[in-house]
Amino acid sequence: MILVYLCEWPLAALNTKGESSIPESKEVLELGLNFAPTPKRVPVIDILAGVEVATRRAKLQVEVSEELRARICSVIKNTKVRQNNMKPSQHQAIASLKRNDTIVIVKADKGNATVVLDKSDYMDKCYMLLQPPTYKKLKKDPTQVVKKRITDLLKDLKAAKHINMAMFNKLKPTNCFAPKFYGLPKVHKPEFPLRPIVSAITSPTFSLSKFIASIISPLAGKTNSYVKNSSHFKLMISEETIGFDEIMVSFDVKSLFTNVPLPEALDVIKDKLGEDENLDDRTTLNAEQITNLLEVCLRTTYFVFNKEYYEQQNGAAMGSPVSPIVANLFMEHFEETSLDTRFRFWKRYVDDIFCIIKSEFLDESLLFLNSLFPSIQLTSEVEKNGSLPFLDVLVSRFDDGTMKTSVHRKSTHTDRYISYNSNHAPHVKKGIVKCLVRRAYNLSSESSLKNEIDHVRSVLSMNGYPRSLVDKVKNELKKKKKQVDTTTLNEDPVATAIIPYVSTMSERIRKILWDYGIRTSFKTKTTLSNLLTKVKDPTSNENKLGAVYKIMCECGDFYIGESGRALGIRIKEHKSACEHGYFTKSPLAEHVWQEGSHVINWNEVKLLDISQGMVERKVKEAIYINMSPNNLTMNRDSGMELSPLVLRAARGHSHK
Ligand SMILES: [Zn+2]
């Protein structure tokens, strides 16, 4: 079991700064990148803001809200947060790893391993992928052009009354920037080649792609070949038998997304949409319009890597929500038009295929499959010693023709899960136990179940979990099967508070909130991955959405504001107001003009906080204004009106 793969050079690099020793750095990395260190300070503002948003949403009576706030503030004031799940030397190791810009720390493609690579080696590997003819380098960022193209298309549809105003606003691109490219090392292959990944959530096509995905996804998954997941496959294979003259083989489509032939795929989808009698229930658009929008999403394949822009030349856009569905639909077409009875038991999960065929046909089968579409090429793997893995299942055949299953783990799997010691809410950790136990039951034949449960027990113990937890979860799962779920009959919450997890304190807060019918959902803000993995091009402060910010004047006065749009756009507005003396548009303008010739420090705008929710952001803005010395803020008011209790709790903690 290898937890951390250190390439030769980074091992030395971990020590170059002379600040941390290799053992400590390794110790930290071995915790796994999803490990959450306990925060040094209790994130009081996040807790107060999360509770405040939920309290307002719950629409409680004024006195009741105030009582709730008083109880929460008392918990914040009186709970001693003692725990720290890392040693000081480990905190130092994190800091020095964070500063070390000669290495790249990233999770492996599969198996929860952490990989440390020499930065220039990582960059070389990325550039090796980004070669023609698969990719083409672009002269500049096409985001604005794409944005305009999509907005125009949607405007036309709105003008022709095919979509309404609400739908137009939902789909139109706002606040977008270029998708980001990065690579994850495949540690099960020699020399660790990278798997290319594109993070497209900020792409101008993202909202549109999600919408189109919801329209076309019901078209897929209706074939015999369709495999939903590993459990589904286990159920199918358990009922199957295999003849003595037959053999198990798996096929893998090489880089399916970048090789899907789009013209064929789009034709297939247009036809299927045309035949779909229920299409009207899902959308007001017709098959042709949907296919046109889909094509725009699929063909918007650009991304940024190391400040340069590239475009993928063929296939479906990586990272787009429509791409897996289009790949699936194309493969269904491939199966319908090409497969014959020789491929007896053909089951497919996106680009992974499990098949039973006559042994004599084995050699020609791959040649045949690869002759069908030039861009669709498969590789094959044949059973070894009567066993073949598929997804998370290992299938074994027996002389009597029956097939049994057990859980399959790649040899590179680390058996590393979120450590019991990590600053995650208890139910997250219990969820991991549940998932592993359930997987053991779902994927194992009776004969292999005991082994698998034993394995789960020892793996969890290695990750710090108490042994009793496995049995507790096992019993709960058994009970659940018998009972018809009565637990879900609980009353519905009136609102949900999303707050960071702080051991002891957060649990007390949850109990109080539930007295008022408010459910609590814990979020884990900082993990080692957030701290140490820097493979995506960083989002500049200018592009950050949902900022609470502070703009300083040279005299020491400052202005605190918030914006749901990109911070750069809001700053530009302040700047312009200052230049033109528009007092009403920015208190900064008033300050600059009334004080004579004060200079605003535009280059050092401070990011105080980030919140995507508007109410949460306004609550935080008000807290920050109120925590600032009155005589220094240019703000004309204190923002959203907050209870003095909340402000006192925030102030009380800022001095600690
Ligand atoms: Zn000033």
Compute, in angstroms, the gap from residue 598 CA to the centroid of ligand 1. Answer: 5
For the ranges 93-102, 258-267, 321-330, 488-497, the lowest mean pLDDT is seen at: 488-497
CB 140 within 8 A of CB 33: no
> What is the model's pLDDT at position 490?
56
> What is the model's pLDDT at position 479?
79
Cα–Cα distance between 97 and 532 in angstroms, integer? 7
Identify the residue with better confidence: 276 or 14.
276
Compute, in angstroms, the gap from residue 568 CA to the centroid of ligand 1. Answer: 21
Helix axes 262-275, 323-338, angle to 10 degrees: 90
Residues 140-151 have pLDDT tens digits of 999 999 999 999
Which tokens in the block code for residue 129? 């992928």
Cα–Cα distance between 602 and 588 in angstroms, integer? 11
Compute, in angstroms, the gap from residue 601 CA to the centroid of ligand 1. Answer: 10
* Amino acid at site 190: P
> What is the model's pLDDT at position 96?
87
Terminal C-alpha separation, the chain: 43
- For residue 634, the Cα-to-chain-centroid distance in whole angstroms is 39
Cα–Cα distance between 517 and 275 in angstroms, integer? 47
Q: Residue 39's pLDDT band (boundaries 50, 70, 90)? A: confident
Compute, in angstroms, the gap from residue 595 CA to the centroid of ligand 1. Answer: 7
Cα–Cα distance between 254 and 331 in angstroms, integer? 13
Distances (CA, A) of 314 to 135, 136, 197, 211, 300: 8, 10, 16, 23, 11
Q: Residue 7's pLDDT band (boundaries 50, 70, 90)? A: low
Residues 472-526 have pLDDT tens digits of 888 888 777 655 444 444 568 889 999 999 888 999 999 999 999 999 999 888 8
Phi, psi torsion values for 609, nearest 5 degrees = -165, 165
> What is the model's pLDDT at position 489?
46
Q: Residues of 77-116 as b/e, b for ≥16 C-beta within 10 angstroms?
A: eebeeeeebbeeebebbbebbeebeebbbbbbbebbbbbb
Distances (CA, A) of 155 to 150, 159, 171, 408: 9, 6, 11, 51
Beta strands at 352-358 and 246-253: parallel, antiparallel or unpaired: antiparallel
Q: Decide if pLDDT at 655 tops 60.
A: no
Model pTM score: 0.86
Cα–Cα distance between 282 and 188 in angstroms, integer? 43
Residues 378-425 have pLDDT tens digits of 999 999 999 999 999 999 999 999 999 999 987 777 888 899 999 999
* Amino acid at site 388: L
For the ranges 21-35, 132-146, 330-344, 610-624, the lowest mean pLDDT is seen at: 21-35
Q: Decide if pLDDT at 318 tops 60.
A: yes
Compute, in angstroms, the gap from residue 588 CA to the centroid of ligand 1. Answer: 9
Q: DSSP states of 508-540 as a string?
A: HHHHHHHHTTEEEEEE----HHHHH---SPPPP
Tokens 């609102």 -> residue: 495
> What is the model's pLDDT at position 242?
95
Compute, in angstroms, the gap from residue 394 CA to the centroid of ligand 1. Answer: 70
Compute, in angstroms, the gap from residue 632 CA to the centroid of ligand 1. Answer: 9
Compute, in angstroms, the gap from residue 599 CA to the centroid of ligand 1. Answer: 7
Taking the CB of residue 168, how many other CB atoms lie within 10 A of it? 15
Cα–Cα distance between 351 and 328 in angstroms, integer? 8
CB 248 within 8 A of CB 242: yes
Compute, in angstroms, the gap from residue 653 CA to the centroid of ligand 1. Answer: 29
Q: Residue 654's pLDDT band (boundaries 50, 70, 90)? A: low
Burial class of 427 by CB neighbour count within 10 A (0 to 12, 13 to 18, 19+): exposed
> What is the model's pLDDT at position 485?
46
Compute, in angstroms, the gap from residue 430 CA to the centroid of ligand 1. Answer: 54
Compute, in angstroms, the gap from residue 597 CA to the centroid of ligand 1. Answer: 8
Compute, in angstroms, the gap from residue 542 CA to the centroid of ligand 1. Answer: 23
- Provide the percentage of residues in the chain whose pLDDT is more than 90: 69
Q: Residue 3's pLDDT band (boundaries 50, 70, 90)? A: low
Residues 596-622 have pLDDT tens digits of 889 999 998 999 999 989 999 999 999
Residues 556-586 have pLDDT tens digits of 999 999 999 999 999 999 999 999 989 889 9
> What is the model's pLDDT at position 488?
45
Cα–Cα distance between 564 and 402 in angstroms, integer? 60
Compute, in angstroms, the gap from residue 576 CA to the centroid of ligand 1. Answer: 17
> What is the model's pLDDT at position 487?
46
- The secondary element (H helix, E strand) that includes residue 565 is strand 558-566
Residues 438-458 have pLDDT tens digits of 999 999 999 999 999 999 999
